[in-house]
Amino acid sequence: MNSVENVNDFITELTTVVGDRPEQLLQYLYRIQYQYSYIPPHAVQLLASRLGLPEREIQGVIEFYSFLHDTARGDFDILFSDSITDQMLGSRTLASGLCERLGVRFGEPRADGRVSVDLTSCTGMCDQGPAMLVNGWTVTCVDEARIEAIAGLIETAVPVEQWPKEFFQVEDNIRRRDLLLNSPRSNGSALQALLNQGSEQILDELDKSWLRGRGGAGFKTAAKWRFCREAEAQQRYVVCNADEGEPGTFKDRILLNSYADEVFEGMTLCAGVIGASQGYLYLRGEYRYLLEPLQTTLERRRQAGLLGQNILDIDGFDFDIDIHMGAGAYICGEESSLIESLEGKRGIPRKRPPFPVTSGFRRQPTVVNNVETFMAAAGIAAHGADWFTAAGTGQSTGTKLLSVSGDCARPGIYEYPFGVSIRQILEDCGGGDAQAVQVAGAAGLTVPQRDFERSISFDDVATGGSFIVFNQQRELLDMVQNFTRFFAHESCGFCTPCRVGGTLLKNLVDKVHAGRGTEADLQQMREIGALMRDTSHCGLGSTAPNPVLDTLEKFPDIYHSRLRDSRYEPAFDLDAALQEARQISGRDADAAPFEAEQ
């Protein structure tokens, strides 16, 4: 662990890298966390003074993000991915085994400060799990042998930088390529098209292509760019949302690893169309390993005249991109939450309208698009709308990248034209024994076997990219339990329906899972879920009850098979709750706590 005595010098050095503005607060905190394993109190005081922010505001940001801590973690801070796919591969058993070998308890640094072990949400490695993070660096394909080796490395204090490189190997696992992944690569071709055709013609091509947002919402890309361009402002911004936190989604990881040029070209194309001079890539904290390669790509594009000042030697075409690191907050996948985080704040969703295209980053017009969307836009500019509309359906043109994982022989990335059936995908990935597929992640749709002929498209089964397969042997209630716990943990806490409703749903699912539920509990689940859908502040809160409501409708037996015969049972054990009072009072008779004073 680094000494905290040099915090002042470290923060001063950061100024030259990150900048000295309040909106850079999260970037300061992110770097301090990985330097010292926590945010020392002195660092909070220094930042408050330097940035002109109240200490309580900085503390609030630390408490909001899962990867920031105000108490020390271990020199080796290990976080096991606790997504449903990791659990299906035995992650919980492996995590417990490592704790036993190291003599450490979950969530508590070992007494000597050497190591801490805990759980985290999905790390975007579902195709090569179980996975974990060690001091923020991704370790894939964890098994008993690696657990044994890692325990030895930790006990002998071998720095993470000297661990075997194969531990950190992340594969693309592209199983099927189509329009986007097979498109000819020519750096600058989309920008050259902008130069030759003009921004209005590029917008017309995007309009004719019917490109819709690939993050899940499906808003028409040309309309979003046009609204932003027409908004009156002194400055406009382009933001790429690479915070793919939806469990089971990892397509953006592959695009940023192997197609970063195309993504950055799409962002630069957007800047040229709307008149923006600054862009940001919001990169999820779990993808820390991609930061340096992405920065290298950006610098190479600057040297090639594709980024920076006078792009393609065009006077006044100035645009650059900075990378902003997230710090573990699922809610920041929502565009207004992402913008709040980009400004260095807690990622609380904004009330809309106004929408980001008129009032986004710094309250200026801002285009926020998904990684896949920017790549598709660059392809359309370079090859034309007809190239894109040759694939897909009338209302769902082009192709879709799917992150396929779970009970299948060949997990990985599959690119299909829109309109492909779920059954076809299962055949291609080796998931023919499926009883259900979870499409669009925890907040998405649970598709039973009888509906496998349904298609992936905006007008049927829409998805941001997640496709998780569950075979006939799986207990689907395990999936529901994992998802409800995920949503309870990841709620931003702003609105009561999501904050309280999510916890109530989690408790009820836990109760049914333990075999103590009743019909009254199932009805309560329906009522709470409906309330969350109708009254939550943002879309993520509205979709949080989906796994419960969807499975109650389509898979009622997974609940009814575990119900007790009684009509009602409390969600907690009253007798166990009173045990401590009995021990303190020395009155151990069953009725003792209820006896009146003599």
Report yes or no: 445 and 439 within 8 Å, Cβ to Cβ: yes
Is residue 571 situated within a structural domain?
Answer: no
Instruction: Check pLDDT > 60 for residue 595.
Output: no
Sorted by sequence, the CB contacts under 8 Å of residue 13 that are 6+ apart come out as none
| CATH code, 515 | 1.20.1440.230
Displacement of CA 183 from its chain's centroid (Å):
27
Report yes or no: 297 and 303 within 8 Å, Cβ to Cβ: no
Is residue 70 situated within a structural domain?
Answer: no
Q: Which two tokens stand for residue 80?
A: 């096991």
Question: Percentage of residues in the chain with pLDDT exceeding 90?
Answer: 88
Q: What is the tally of structural domains in the chain?
A: 5
Residue 555 exposure: Cα atoms within 13 Å on the Cβ side: 26
Distances (CA, A) of 388 to 222, 252, 371, 397: 14, 20, 17, 7
pLDDT on residue 110: 97
| CATH code, 129 | 3.40.30.10
For residues 25-35, give the mean pLDDT.
Answer: 95
Q: What is the pLDDT of residues 130-156, one digit of tens each?
A: 999 999 999 999 999 999 999 999 999
Instruction: Please tell me whether residues 84 and 185 are part of one structural domain.
Output: no
Of the residues 142, 171, 200, the one at which a domain ends = 171
Report yes or no: 343 and 26 within 8 Å, Cβ to Cβ: no
The 3-class SS string of 3-47 reads CHHHHHHHHHHHHHHHCCCHHHHHHHHHHHHHHHCCCCHHHHHHH
DSSP readout, 427-443? HHHT-TTEEEEEESSTT
Q: Tell me which residue range forms the domain holding 481.
A: 477-560
For residues 526-540, give the mean pLDDT.
Answer: 96
For residues 265-271, give the mean pLDDT.
Answer: 98
Taking the C-alpha atoms of residue 130 and residue 123, their distance in angstroms, rounded to an integer, is: 10
Taking the C-alpha atoms of residue 347 and residue 241, their distance in angstroms, rounded to an integer, is: 14
Reduce the DSSP state of residue 137 to 3 states and report it.
strand
Q: Provide the pLDDT confidence category of residue 589 given band limits of 50, 70 and 90.
A: low
Is residue 572 situated within a structural domain?
Answer: no
Instruction: Please tell me whether residues 264 and 335 are part of one structural domain.
Output: yes
Instruction: Please tell me whether residues 145 and 219 are part of one structural domain.
Output: no
Of the residues 421, 447, 472, the one at which a domain ends = 472
Sorted by sequence, the CB contacts under 8 Å of residue 264 that are 6+ apart come out as 281, 297, 298, 301, 306, 307, 321
Instruction: Please tell me whether residues 461 and 536 are part of one structural domain.
Output: no
Q: What is the pLDDT of residues 351-400, one digit of tens each?
A: 989 999 999 999 999 999 999 999 999 999 999 999 999 999 989 999 99
Of the residues 120, 137, 171, the one at which a domain ends = 171
Between 98 and 9, where is the model more confident?
A: 98
Sorted by sequence, the CB contacts under 8 Å of residue 148 that are 6+ apart come out as 101
pLDDT on residue 369: 98
Q: Provide the pLDDT confidence category of residue 4 given band limits of 50, 70 and 90.
A: low
Instruction: Please tell me whether residues 147 and 258 are part of one structural domain.
Output: no
Q: What is the pLDDT of the chain when averaged over all its residues?
A: 94
Instruction: Please tell me whether residues 116 and 246 are part of one structural domain.
Output: no
Report yes or no: 406 and 470 within 8 Å, Cβ to Cβ: yes
Instruction: Check pLDDT > 80 for residue 574.
Output: no
Instruction: Please tell me whether residues 183 and 154 are part of one structural domain.
Output: no
Instruction: Check pLDDT > 70 for residue 42.
Output: yes
Displacement of CA 554 from its chain's centroid (Å):
27
Instruction: Please tell me whether residues 185 and 114 are part of one structural domain.
Output: no
